[in-house]
Each structure stands twice: as C-alpha cells, then as structure tokens.
C-alpha cells in the first residue's frame, strides 16, 4: 500500500480515557495543525481490551458514533483499535466471528479503519492454537489476516494496523535482526496491513534511521511509529511539556507515519502535538524553533483575570521545568547544576551562583501563584500537583541553603514545619525507592 507519510495521535495510554469534550478539542487542534490520523485505543475503555468481546451499549455506541462524526467533520481519519490479545483464541471460529460482530457495530457507527493490538500481553498460545500454529506470530497473523479479508470486502479501501507483541527493539529476543517473531510476522501478515513500532525502547530517546531500515527488512514493510516520547502513564509524578525531539527528518522517509501517545492529561499536550505537527511538515525540523513557536501559540490559553499576566517567558519556564523523559529543560538544567555547586562549595564562595539559583526558585514560586489564577481551570488542575511539588521543594531548598550558611555542626540537621518525620514526599513507593536507588547507569546496585 502506498500512502503518504502521516502524523497524528494515538490515545493508547493506561488510565482514564479522554472525555468527549477533550477529544473534540483534540480534533480541532489536529485539523488546524495538519495531524491527519487519530487512533481510538484507550487501554482502559473496558470494551477495547479487558472485555473486548462485548459490544457497546446503545448509550456508549451513541457516544462513539458522535466521536466518529466529529473526527470526520474535522477531516481526521478515525481508526478504531481493539486489543483482543489477553484471552483471544486465534484459531477459534467463534472469536473470529465475535471480532467481526464488534467491528460491525463500529462500521454501523460510521467507522472504516481498524487496528488490532497485541501489545502488553503474555505471549502464550492455548492448546488449540498450539495444535494449529507454529508460533505466536503465525497465530496473530492468521487471525489478523482473516479479519482483514472480511474488512476489505465490507469496506473497500479500509486500512488495518497491527501492534506486535514485541513492539520495540528491547523486546526482541535476542535482537531485532534475529527475532523469529518479526521474521514470521513479516512473512505471514498480509502486506496491506501496517505495523506499529515504538523504536529501540518503549520510550525511545532517539529512533535511528538505520534501526528502522533493519526492522523494515524483517517486516517487509516500513513501520508506523507509535511514539511514547510524551507518554506519562508509567510514571505519574511526571508530565512532559517539552518539544518533540530525538527523531531525524530522514525518519519520515523510512516510516509510514508517526503517531504520538502523549500525556494522560489531555490539556498538557499542546506543545507535544504542536511540535509533532511541525516535525511532520518541516523539511528541516528544529526542536528549539518548534518549541518557541509552540510556546507562543499556547500562551493565549494561559489567560488570567487582571492584574496577573502570564507571558511566553512564563510558559517557557513551565515547559522547561516539566520537559522530556530523558531531558531536563535548559533553564532547569542550569538550576540543578547551580544547586550541585552550592552543595559542594563553602557558602563564603557561593557568590552569584546563589543569586542565580534563588532567582530561578523565586520565578517558580511566582509561576505557581500566577497559574492559580488561570481562567482555564482544567489546565490548572492538570498541572496542579506537579507545580505544588516543585514549589514546595523550592521552599525547602532555599531554607536548606539558609541553614548551611549558619555553619551548622556536623551532626546538626535542618528542619521544616512542612516536613514531619515519616512524611517526606511520595509515601510507600518513594520510601522503597530510596532504599534501592537507581544508579546513574540505570542499574540497581547492592545495598550500601
Ligand atoms: C506501552 C503500551 C502503551 C503505554 C506505553 C507507555 C505500546 C505499544 N503499548 O507499553 O499502552 O501507554 O507503553 O507506558 O506502547
């Protein structure tokens, strides 16, 4: 199938799916910015995955139908995804029929294109499947091909997408090149079906063209990138407001498309999506330039009643503070480095480093106060916990520096009214994390 490179959004994260109103705003953004394709694959729509065999109730179906209509009115291709992998029996004619019946319901609501997802499942075959298929890839390919045959007859020109069970380099045993799963899939899956790939990792810092060329040889088709760069469902203490980055322009010529699976908090995806659209359309993509443009475009959403005013510098500070999974924003990087300098230098020598460090902290405190005045309350609520945690830390750090300046005795400690014994941030999980801290290289060493 020869289709032009496309970019869009995959609502494919764990947790609360976006609301109808949010998806409506999403389609507006997509139309305005030239993102053509939306995948409806929310892991926790009960009937997408856990209970995939169930059809939607009349009320749910009406909601889905209006969503499909809304996408169409915005010129966005709607792809309905279903994840049968948890308990499907690939060889069962009944399951094939159940899937068709479910798809019938979506077709009746105006849907045309589909995705079958086999990610995040235990790769095991039932006894009946083992008797019929030589491998998991063979079972999934057969099941998916059956569906594709049926779909093409029902809807000429319908597209089908497939998410493999190993969907990134790290998951391939022993390597992408030697993965029998990918080789079997490439040979057996109908060549008209597109295949997702998240890069070398589930959350890939970079995705090289060479790695995609190697993958495409096995798959016998270029993949569609399911990009988890801005996904935050796996770490609820983080949000990602930085620009799309780490993917070269040449990636567009070796893939079918890129769709991003971004922050669970819909409102926080303005910069991620605006910059992805930039990447999709630019001849030469510059994350820094796209970032600046996205900040400028997002700032009007930060309206507040007078006298508070939030400008582009404030929005940049916000996006800098909650940036990307592998990268801290440039201002925050300097701030962190300044703190390290202060901790490793006697107070008498702090000089302008302290001034700069405190100025950044004060800017963050001011930002918190300004944002609480946002008219767009949903935007504030999405940010709130993260801002709160940051400004509380600023207060503690400033206090800690004050204390260091008093030349405390070696066994003295700094106390704060907000930090009672046993209450330091994060509860049980954070306590456990402090007992086995991650090293710089990502390993967990022996207890010290
Ligand atoms: C995954 C899941 C996705 C999740 C993401 C980030 C794919 C193909 N599947 O493993 O649902 O949101 O990681 O946690 O990425």
pLDDT of residue 85: 97
Indicate if 160 and 215 belong to the same structural domain. yes
Mean pLDDT over each residue of the chain, to the nearest integer:
97
Specify whether 227 is catalytic.
no
Sign of CA dihedral 282, 283, 288, 289: negative
Q: Is residue 308 over pLDDT 70?
A: yes
Which residues constitute the domain of residue 397? 312-429
pLDDT of residue 69: 98
Question: Which domain-ending residue is among 241, 267, 285?
Answer: 285
Indicate if 408 and 320 belong to the same structural domain. yes
Indicate if 336 and 272 belong to the same structural domain. no
Taking only the tens place, the pLDDT of each residue in 170-197 is 999 999 999 999 999 999 999 999 999 9
User: Does 79 map to a domain?
Assistant: yes
Site to substitute for ligand 1 among 12, 40, 204, 227, most atoms within 8 A of C-beta: 12
pLDDT of residue 433: 93
How many angstroms does the Cα of residue 320 sit away from the middle of ligand 1?
Answer: 24
Indicate if 251 and 320 belong to the same structural domain. no
More confident residue, 198 or 418: 198
Q: Is residue 131 over pLDDT 90?
A: yes
Question: 312: pLDDT confidence band, cut at 50, 70 and 90?
Answer: very high
How many angstroms does the Cα of residue 13 sit away from the middle of ligand 1?
Answer: 6
Q: What is the value of pTM for the model shown?
A: 0.97
List residues bridging with 247 in a β-sheet: 207
DSSP state of 302: G
pLDDT of residue 422: 86
Indicate if 93 and 24 belong to the same structural domain. yes
Nearest-atom index, ligand 1, CA of 203: 6
Nearest-atom index, ligand 1, CA of 234: 14
Question: Which domain-ending residue is among 267, 285, 303?
Answer: 285
pLDDT of residue 424: 86
CATH code of the domain in which 98 resides = 3.20.20.80
pLDDT of residue 1: 41
User: Does 440 map to a domain?
Assistant: no
Structure tokens of 215? 């993958």
How many angstroms does the Cα of residue 371 sit away from the middle of ligand 1?
Answer: 31
Indicate if 267 and 320 belong to the same structural domain. no
Site to substitute for ligand 1 among 9, 13, 86, 161, most atoms within 8 A of C-beta: 13
Question: What percentage of the chain carries pLDDT values higher than 90?
Answer: 96
Indicate if 272 and 334 belong to the same structural domain. no
Spell out the long-range contacts of 357-365 with Cβ–Cβ below 8 A and sequence spacing 24 or more: 357/401, 358/398, 358/401, 360/331, 360/334, 360/335, 361/335, 361/394, 361/397, 361/398, 363/317, 364/317, 364/321, 364/390, 364/391, 364/394, 365/391, 365/394, 365/395
**CA distance linking residue 353 with residue 187, whole number of Å:** 60
How many domains does the chain contain in total? Answer: 2
Taking only the tens place, the pLDDT of each residue in 33-81 is 999 999 999 999 999 999 999 999 999 999 999 999 999 999 999 999 9
- The binding-site residues of ligand 1, defined as CB within 6 angstroms of any ligand atom, are 12-14, 43, 119-120, 163, 167, 198, 202, 226, 228, 231, 233-234, 261
User: Does 305 map to a domain?
Assistant: no
Indicate if 251 and 365 belong to the same structural domain. no
Q: Out of 70, 77, 120, 369, which one is annotated catalytic?
A: 120
User: Does 291 map to a domain?
Assistant: no
Q: Whose CA is nearest to atom 12 of ligand 1?
A: 13
Q: Is residue 2 over pLDDT 80?
A: no
Structure tokens of 67? 């969503």
Nearest-atom index, ligand 1, CA of 261: 12
CATH code of the domain in which 340 resides = 1.20.58.240
Taking only the tens place, the pLDDT of each residue in 139-165 is 999 999 999 999 999 999 999 999 999
Measured torsion, CA atoms of residues 9, 15, 21, 25, in degrees rounded to the nearest 10: -30
């Amino acid at each position: 199938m020869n289709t032009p490179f496309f970019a869009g959004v995959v609502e494919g994260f764990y947790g609360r799916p976006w609301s109808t109103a949010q998806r409506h705003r999403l389609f507006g953004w997509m139309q305005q910015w030239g993102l053509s394709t939306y995948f409806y694959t929310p892991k926790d729509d009960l009937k997408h995955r856990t209970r995939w065999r169930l059809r939607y109730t009349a009320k749910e179906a009406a909601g889905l139908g209006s969503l499909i209509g809304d996408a169409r009115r915005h010129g966005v291709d709607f792809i309905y995804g279903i994840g049968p992998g948890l308990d499907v029996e690939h060889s069962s004619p009944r399951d094939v029929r159940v899937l068709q019946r479910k798809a019938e319901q979506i077709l009746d609501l105006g849907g045309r294109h589909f995705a079958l997802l086999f990610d995040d499942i235990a790769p095991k075959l039932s006894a009946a499947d083992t008797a019929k298929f030589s491998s998991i890839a063979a079972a999934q390919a057969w099941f998916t091909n059956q569906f594709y045959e049926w779909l093409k007859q029902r809807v000429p020109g319908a597209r089908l997408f497939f998410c493999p069970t190993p969907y990134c380099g790290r998951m391939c045993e022993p390597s992408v090149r030697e993965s029998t799963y990918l080789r079997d899939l490439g040979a057996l899956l109908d060549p008209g079906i597109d295949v997702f790939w998240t890069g070398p990792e589930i959350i890939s810092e970079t995705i090289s063209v060479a790695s995609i060329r190697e993958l495409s040889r096995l798959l016998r088709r270029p993949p569609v990138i399911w990009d988890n760069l801005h996904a935050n469902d796996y770490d609820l203490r983080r949000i990602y407001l930085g620009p799309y980055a780490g993917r070269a322009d040449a990636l567009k010529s070796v893939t079918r498309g890129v769709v991003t699976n971004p922050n669970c908090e819909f409102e926080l995806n303005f910069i991620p999506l605006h910059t992805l659209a930039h990447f999709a359309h630019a001849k030469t993509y510059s994350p820094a330039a796209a970032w600046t443009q996205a900040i400028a475009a997002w700032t009007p959403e930060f309206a507040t009643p007078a006298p508070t005013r939030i400008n582009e510098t404030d929005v940049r500070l916000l996006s800098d503070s909650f940036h990307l999974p592998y990268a801290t924003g440039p201002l925050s990087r300097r701030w962190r480095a300044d703190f390290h300098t202060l901790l490793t230098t006697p107070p008498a020598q702090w000089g302008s480093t302290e001034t700069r460090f405190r100025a950044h902290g004060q800017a963050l405190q001011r930002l918190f106060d300004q944002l609480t005045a946002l008219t767009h309350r949903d935007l504030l609520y999405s940010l709130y916990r993260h801002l709160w945690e940051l400004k509380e830390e600023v207060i503690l750090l400033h206090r800690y520096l004050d204390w260091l300046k008093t030349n405390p005795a070696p066994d003295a400690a700094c106390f704060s009214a907000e930090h009672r014994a046993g209450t330091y941030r994060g509860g049980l999980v954070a306590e456990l994390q402090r007992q086995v801290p991650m090293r710089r290289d990502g390993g967990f060493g022996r207890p010290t």
